[in-house]
Amino acid sequence: MLLTLGWAQTSPVVTEKITVPWAVTDWEPYYILEGANAKSGRVDRLRRVLEDHLKGYQLTDVSGGYAKNNGAVEAG
């Protein structure tokens, strides 16, 4: 009887992933966007771990631009 009840229950089917905006900027050693070491920064590696374990989520790149903008302000 209990086995039959287990078969009657259905699992929810996830059809869409939840989109999470992920700020990306060219700021070594945290983010490396170009060159031989591209995608090997500290936060790049963290992102891969999150993507591997959060199957219901889609991380979408959003340009942060912090490092470049910050450098322009410091230069005067």
Per-residue pLDDT, 9: 57
Query: What pLDDT digit, counting tens, does each position of 24-61 carry?
Result: 888 889 989 899 999 999 999 999 999 999 999 999 99
- Return the H-helix or E-strand segment holding 7: helix 2-8
pTM: 0.60
Q: Which of 72, 13, 67, 19 is nearest to 43 (CA)?
A: 67
Up-side HSE of residue 63: CA atoms within 13 Å toward CB? Answer: 3
User: In the structure encoding, which two tokens stand for residue 63, read together?
Assistant: 């340009």
Q: Which two tokens stand for residue 62?
A: 């959003």
The pLDDT of residue 67: 52
